A = this chain, B = another copy of it.
């Protein structure tokens, strides 16, 4: 048995992307990590700022964006252009050889348009996991590049981009790459981890297994918003990802970092 090298896939949420000082702290930490690494970023509120500036009303159903054609044009500009290149530039200035990618680039995140029934989310994409070109990503990593994925996937048949949740892109990349590497998947969001009490930032649950999760869920301890994130995490572990961590920007502090919640 060979000893696999480690790949860390870090997903940073919109609240981190939107906060320049948190963002710099997180990227500084990330840029010093050893081993292979990828970054996946969310869209943040910047898309809504530009939609509003351009007179397009943002439209969400159950926390997910409804992406009509004008909205797709704006999120393509904001995600693949503004945010992605800002992150790549910051990482490059920190000595990390980042390369920004949408799902269309090298057709790296193939997807199909989500069916319009029961809810029509417009140009929303569901990742086709089996079509992700893992060998291409592997070759970039081995060339010392750090891929930076924006939350846009690609429909090869139409040639068009699709809007996809960044958490899903992160877990899809992590799952695909677990054929080649020991993969750690790290979700960095605005809280310090999974909290026992959502009002107490110091109530981080240090480790969580499937049995604990079920119990906490049944007891109503874990907040509704956290449940899909954790279900994704347990699915990733079940399918070959070695480790999932849910943490906040405090995990990237040099002094007294808060490690977050380790899912095992």
Contacts and interface: CB of A to CB of B under 8 A. Distances in A.
Given A100-B105, A106-B99, A136-B143, A77 B82 contact: yes
Nearest to A108: B99
B106 A160 contact: no
Please tell me the size bucket of the interface on A: 35 or more
Interface residue SS majority, chain A: helix
Copies per assembly:
2
B54 A161 contact: no
A86 B158 CA distance: 11
B92 A159 contact: yes
B85 A102 contact: yes
A67 to B, nearest CB: 14
A29 B242 CA distance: 46
Given A93-B156, A99-B101, 5 more contacts: A81-B81, A85-B104, A88-B102, A89-B160, A98-B106
Interface of A: 50, 53-54, 73, 76-82, 84-86, 88-90, 92-94, 97-102, 104-107, 136, 139, 143, 145, 152, 154, 156-161
